[in-house]
Chains A and B, each alone.
Chain A
Amino acid sequence: MITIQELNEIKQKTLENMKLRLQEDSGKGLHGKHVLICGGPGCHSSNAEGIKKAFKEKIKEKGLDKEIKVSLAGCFGLCETGPNVEIYPDGIFYAHIKIEDIDEIVENHLCKGKIVERLLYEGSLKDGKIKQVSEVDFYNKQKKIALRNCGIIDYESIDEYIALDGYQALAKVVMEMTQQEVIDIVKASNLRGRGGAGFPTGRKWETAYEYKANKKYVICNADEGDPGAFMDRSILEGDPHSVLEAMAIAGYAIGSDQGYIYVRAEYPIAVRRLQIAIAQAKEKGLLGKNIFGTDFSFDIELRLGAGAFVCGEGTALMESIEGRRGMPRTKIYRTAHRGLWQKPTIINNVETFANVPAIIQNGVEWFKNIGTEDSPGTKVFALGGKIKNTGLIEVPMGVTLREIIFDIGGGIPNGKKFKAVQTGGPSGGCIPEEHLDTPVDFGSLGRLGSIMGSGGMIVLDEDDCMVDIARFFLDFTVEESCGKCVPCREGTKRMLEILERITKGEGTPEDIDRLESLAETITNGSLCGLGQTAANPVTSTLKYFRDEYEAHVYEKRCPAGSCQSLLEFFITEDCIGCTKCARNCPVSCISGKVKERHVIDTEKCIKCGTCMEVCPTGAVIKK
């Protein structure tokens, strides 16, 4: 069992070693340095471990392994430029680092103090001046609460978590506060669920607290269903203790001694880091019996999901933990009354939990000063698609979509034009240019026909066909519908068939009406959120991009040039008359003389794409 004194001792001792990184110490001469390597999912995929090893070896070779520390940390956010490396206390950000580059960084930067400009992240060089990490555009509009430790601490070190005030909130709660006081803070903060629906967390906790029972449960929903997002994963991998601490706080508040984390089996790294973190917390007595010497005990177990999107839905998740097919329950009881094994249960999302210790530590006023009145605090987004700075960001609620996409995200690459931004994954919708100045919060995105969702944000450009995007999400929903309700099971299938017809150029005008009527039935006639929101990708694209549907149906044309069956190959003025395309066309439908522009007979063309592949000047295009 750990005491608060011991906790503070660990904190002081570890902080001493972290000063360089926190830029509180300028380093002893040239040498006191800390090399931090991003170990987030993206950089991990591009050999972050290998880079760490190479740094260590080279530094050892130089005999500097006493002065220079090397460690891996959670996601830095700028996945686009990975693998990323930061050098502290200088605050220098190196991007796209390869093993071959490491010698140069060690020799020049670490040994001689000469920054290797060639390898700097391009955003940190402006007018010949080198900016620190914290000053680059990508970071300076962000505000980190849920990700406060990601990219700073070593994710496998409980001591480093403790050094940055970890487990202080839990100590305060169990030793100084009553259950009602904890709930009052969470309620007053107006923290809303980050899993998508935005339900007030404090209210949920209060309901479970007030209900008397001999056993209650706390569940962390780490099933991360949105197919194009990785926020929760990054928190679990980069700062697992923040979730454990918050779950214990929730356990204290509602009177539960058992927590479960339902995490996707497809996230083996997150699973491993959680296992390590739970073992560390138990060893220190921060989980287990009589935490901080009080009579509060709390344990956490992992339960692995098995790849079913619907299990992100609270009651389906409980069915799954109970060992059955994950099909949502009919909502006769609230889960706060009868949830897991028919006992009062609260379920919160990973990011929601990650906010809790910070709120307890810094107070309600601090939290409410960030974000908007409707939605205080911040939101983490996984920014992807046709955007320059793909990555993980956390912004105060109320910033506009435009700021996210153009200031933080750096806009659309390759000089293309922005078309829409998709939020909320399969339950969300597409938002067009004219609404880009909408502030991001739960209310405003809902009014646009999309939802905040769990944080997937995919940017689409002029090359993306909106009908096909709707088709993509419906394809997903059909696959994932659990099959309990007819409107969801059959309706989504029919919608998908219609969308497939339209993208193949076989759609009829009635199809558009049919989509609208199906959307209404599915939305109103489904039991769970999956069915109730399944039509959103279709209704939102119909609302803002109806002309694209109509072009497919009436003109058999895909304005974005994306639907294969509707495309025609065309040779532009860039043709130099090399005859290569004509020689390679399997149906000989290209004619033209040497050194003259060639022409494709679109009647005969079978759209194999060979001509496009072989053309040396890129003169063959699809339109």
Chain B
Amino acid sequence: MEFEFDWEANEEKVKELKIFMEENKRKKGALIAVLHEAQDLFGYLPIEIQKMISEELKVPLSEIYGVATFYSHFSLIPKGEYKIGVCLGTACYVKGAQEILDKVEKTLGITVGQTTPDRKFSISATRCLGACGLAPVLMINGDVYGRLKPGDVEEILNKYR
């Protein structure tokens, strides 16, 4: 799916990123910090922004793309308004996390790494959230839901619809 980057709506954020780059570009190994900042600002790394970073930092775009795709934390598509993270850590897995994830995917009609077309939800599979005592666990924008059964998923998602 194509997501268009809106320069006008993001004018302020672009400015902010430029200031951040200005402050950091002389530091060694600044690229990843800049990508973190961009991802925090825009929620993902639009190709337009990668091009801009390439010009400002004088780093080839291919290298930036290479870094952005290497690390799973960086996303090339926008995340949803509600980011769902289903823990697939070992403790959650042995308590049935896969079924929870399957159910979330089925309910929303998207798979891990995707965003619903209305940009409301996106799903990712996370590693241990430190809440193994509550396994299996899923997190929506910081709210943690634990001791889940596949049957609970629908109701939880409805809260955000």
Which residues of B have CB within 8 Å of A42?
130-134
B31 CB within 8 Å of chain A? yes
B43 CB within 8 Å of chain A? no
Q: C-beta contact mask, B70-90 vs A, less than 8 Å → 1, else 0?
A: 111110000000000000111
CB < 8 Å: which of A44, A266, A385, A390 contacts B90? A385
Given A304-B33, A307-B73, check contact A41 B91 (CB 8 Å).
no
B93 CB within 8 Å of chain A? yes
Which residues of A have CB within 8 Å of B66?
325
Which residues of A have CB within 8 Å of B32?
303-304, 306, 320, 323
A323–B128 alpha-carbon span in the complex (Å)? 26
Which residues of A have CB within 8 Å of B51?
none
| Stretch in A223-231, A346-354, A372-380 with 4+ CB within 8 Å of B | A223-231
Which residue of chain A has the shortest Cβ distance to B57 in the bound complex? A323
A326–B66 alpha-carbon span in the complex (Å)? 11
CB < 8 Å: which of A41, A80, A307 contacts B72? A307
CB < 8 Å: which of B72, B91, B137 contacts A458? B91
Q: Are B90 and A265 in contact (CB under 8 A)?
A: no
A37-87: which residues lie under 8 A (CB-CB) from chain B? 40-42, 44-46, 78-82
Which residues of A have CB within 8 Å of B139?
45
Q: C-beta contact mask, B18-53 vs A, less than 8 Å → 1, else 0?
A: 000000000011111101100000000000000000
A456 CB within 8 Å of chain B? yes
CB < 8 Å: which of A45, A307, A341, A469 contacts B137? A45
Q: Are B95 and A228 in contact (CB under 8 A)?
A: no
Q: Are A228 and B128 in contact (CB under 8 A)?
A: yes
Which residues of B have CB within 8 Å of A242?
none
Which residues of B have CB within 8 Å of A305?
71, 73
Given A306-B36, A306-B74, A425-B90, check contact A390 B29 (CB 8 Å).
no
Q: Are A323 and B95 in contact (CB under 8 A)?
A: no
Given A422-B90, A472-B90, check contact A266 B127 (CB 8 Å).
yes
Q: Are B94 and A324 in contact (CB under 8 A)?
A: no
Q: Are B88 and A227 in contact (CB under 8 A)?
A: yes
Which residues of A have CB within 8 Å of B73?
265-266, 305-307
A42–B74 alpha-carbon span in the complex (Å)? 26
Given A227-B127, A306-B72, A472-B93, check contact A322 B29 (CB 8 Å).
yes
A491 CB within 8 Å of chain B? no
Which residues of B have CB within 8 Å of A266?
73, 126-127
Which residues of B have CB within 8 Å of A384?
90-91, 132-133, 135
Q: Are A79 and B132 in contact (CB under 8 A)?
A: yes
Q: Are B90 and A456 in contact (CB under 8 A)?
A: yes
How many contacts A-B (CB < 8 Å)?
Answer: 133
Which residues of B have CB within 8 Å of A469?
94
A303-354: which residues lie under 8 A (CB-CB) from chain B? 303-308, 320-326, 341
Given A265-B73, A456-B90, check contact A324 B146 (CB 8 Å).
no
Q: Are A45 and B91 in contact (CB under 8 A)?
A: no
Given A41-B129, A390-B133, check contact A321 B72 (CB 8 Å).
no
Q: Are B91 and A323 in contact (CB under 8 A)?
A: no
Q: Are B95 and A45 in contact (CB under 8 A)?
A: no
- Interface size classification for chain B: 35 or more
A233 CB within 8 Å of chain B? yes
Q: Are B91 and A307 in contact (CB under 8 A)?
A: no
Which residues of B have CB within 8 Å of A460?
94
B156 CB within 8 Å of chain A? no
**In angstroms, how far is the closest chain B Cβ from the Cβ of A118?**
21
Which residues of B have CB within 8 Å of A385?
90-91, 94-95, 132
Q: Are A228 and B90 in contact (CB under 8 A)?
A: yes
CB < 8 Å: which of B67, B72, B126, B129 contacts A325? B67
A390–B137 alpha-carbon span in the complex (Å)? 14
Which residue of chain B has the shortest Cβ distance to A459 in the bound complex? B94
Which residues of A have CB within 8 Å of B35?
306
Q: Are B91 and A304 in contact (CB under 8 A)?
A: no
Q: C-beta contact mask, A195-231 vs B, less than 8 Å → 1, else 0?
A: 0000000000000000000000000000000111110
A419-463: which residues lie under 8 A (CB-CB) from chain B? 422, 425, 456, 458, 460
Q: Are A464 and B94 in contact (CB under 8 A)?
A: yes
Q: C-beta contact mask, B123-160 vs A, less than 8 Å → 1, else 0?
A: 00011111111110101000010100000000000000
Q: Are A230 and B130 in contact (CB under 8 A)?
A: yes
A401 CB within 8 Å of chain B? no
Which residue of chain A has the shortest Cβ distance to B71 in the bound complex? A306
A304–B33 alpha-carbon span in the complex (Å)? 7
A230–B90 alpha-carbon span in the complex (Å)? 11
A386 CB within 8 Å of chain B? yes
Q: Are B90 and A323 in contact (CB under 8 A)?
A: no
A79–B132 alpha-carbon span in the complex (Å)? 8
Which residues of A have CB within 8 Å of B94?
385-386, 458, 460, 464, 469
Q: Quick one: which of B35, B67, B71, B146 has the most chain A CB within 10 A?
A: B71
Which residue of chain B has the shortest Cβ distance to A234 in the bound complex? B130
A94-117: which residues lie under 8 A (CB-CB) from chain B? none
Which residues of A have CB within 8 Å of B70?
308, 325-326, 482
**In angstroms, how far is the closest chain A Cβ from the Cβ of B26?**
13
**In angstroms, how far is the closest chain B Cβ from the Cβ of A297?**
19
Which residue of chain B has the shortest Cβ distance to A483 in the bound complex? B70
A382 CB within 8 Å of chain B? yes
Given A80-B133, A324-B67, check contact A265 B36 (CB 8 Å).
yes
A78–B95 alpha-carbon span in the complex (Å)? 18
Which residues of A have CB within 8 Å of B144?
45-46
**In angstroms, how far is the closest chain A Cβ from the Cβ of B45?**
11
**In angstroms, how far is the closest chain B Cβ from the Cβ of A494?**
22
Which residues of A have CB within 8 Å of B127?
227-228, 266
**In angstroms, how far is the closest chain B Cβ from the Cβ of A560?**
11
A325–B70 alpha-carbon span in the complex (Å)? 6
Q: Are A230 and B128 in contact (CB under 8 A)?
A: yes
In the complex, given contacts A42-B133, A79-B134, A303-B29, what are 9 additional A-B residue pairs having Cβ atoms less than 8 angstroms apart? A42-B131, A44-B130, A227-B127, A228-B128, A323-B28, A341-B28, A384-B91, A384-B132, A456-B90
Chain B residues engaging chain A, CB cutoff 8 angstroms: 28-33, 35-36, 63, 66-67, 70-74, 88-95, 126-135, 137, 139, 144, 146
24 A-B pairs whose Cβ atoms sit less than 8 Å apart in the complex? A41-B130, A42-B130, A42-B134, A45-B139, A46-B131, A226-B90, A228-B89, A228-B93, A303-B32, A305-B71, A307-B71, A322-B28, A324-B63, A324-B67, A325-B67, A382-B91, A384-B133, A385-B95, A385-B132, A386-B94, A390-B133, A391-B133, A422-B90, A460-B94
- The 6 nearest A-B residue pairs measured at CB: A41-B130, A228-B90, A384-B91, A79-B133, A306-B71, A45-B144
